[in-house]
């Protein structure tokens, strides 16, 4: 039996393309499991259920190998675990054909290792590019990441209170802003102000 698994990293992403590919490949909708969670988290109920349902000679079908795990080690561990149980893996859209249900296909095994390695390398490069972009933006005085949802009027009031020497706990009470928010958004005090 073919068991389908689809995953997107956030609830805002659309899983339809993966579901359509699984349906086109002949996987029955009642045997398709879905997660809308990052591959980095171990709490993936859809994958857990797909693995629970898999029996010897079944094949877990995924759009691409990276849907199964975020790291090379996790993906290979899962593949070895499934192989020991007699369960295969087949991908639908990877550039190298993967079908581990055929034990006599050494190229399929090599493709698994290569694709998992390339996927992990791409994640590493993406993280490095993002970190570099953040450092360049910070060097030019630009904020990166999610836009602030802190009320600018409250921040201005907090700054005025702090400049008057009001203790942080009192600023928290008067503005309703959390202490961590104040430390994150207010410029550091001058040494003269800190000593008073």
pLDDT at 73: 76
Helices within 140-185 (DSSP H only): 152-163, 168-175, 179-185
The whole model's pTM is what? 0.58
CB atoms within 10 A of CB 13: 11
Output the tens digit of pLDDT for each of the chain's 196 residues.
999 999 998 878 889 999 999 999 999 999 999 998 775 667 889 999 999 999 999 999 999 888 887 777 788 888 888 988 999 999 899 877 788 887 666 666 676 677 677 777 877 888 888 888 888 888 887 777 666 678 888 888 888 898 888 898 899 998 988 888 888 877 776 554 444 4
pLDDT at 187: 72
C-alpha span between 163 and 171 (Å, rounded): 11
Torsion angles phi and psi, residue 33, rounded to 5: -120, 145
C-alpha span between 167 and 179 (Å, rounded): 11
Helices and strands (H, E) in the chain, number of each type:
8, 4
Q: Is 9 a catalytic residue?
A: yes
Residues 6+ apart with CB under 8 A from 51: 60, 82
Q: Which of 9, 135, 191, 196 is catalytic?
A: 9
pLDDT at 85: 93
Torsion angles phi and psi, residue 52, rounded to 5: -65, -40
């Amino acid at each position: 039996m073919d068991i389908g698994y689809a995953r997107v990293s956030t609830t805002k992403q659309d899983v339809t393309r993966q579901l359509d590919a699984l349906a086109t490949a002949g996987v029955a909708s009642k045997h398709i499991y879905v997660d809308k969670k990052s591959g980095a988290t171990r709490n993936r109920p859809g994958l857990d259920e797909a693995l629970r349902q898999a029996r010897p000679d079944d094949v877990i079908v995924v759009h691409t190998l990276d849907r199964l795990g975020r790291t090379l080690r996790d993906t290979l561990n899962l593949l070895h675990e499934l192989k020991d149980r007699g369960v295969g893996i087949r991908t639908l859209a990877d550039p190298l054909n993967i079908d581990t249900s055929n034990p006599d296909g050494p190229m399929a095994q090599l493709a698994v290792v290569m694709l998992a390695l390339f996927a992990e390398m791409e994640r590493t490069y993406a993280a490095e590019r993002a970190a570099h972009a953040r450092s360049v933006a910070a060097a030019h005085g630009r904020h990166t990441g999610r836009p602030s949802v802190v009320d600018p009027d409250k921040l201005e009031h907090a700054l005025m209170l702090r400049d008057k020497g009001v203790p942080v706990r009192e600023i928290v009470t008067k503005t309703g802003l959390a202490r961590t928010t104040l430390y994150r958004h207010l410029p550091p005090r001058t040494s003269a102000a800190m000593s008073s």
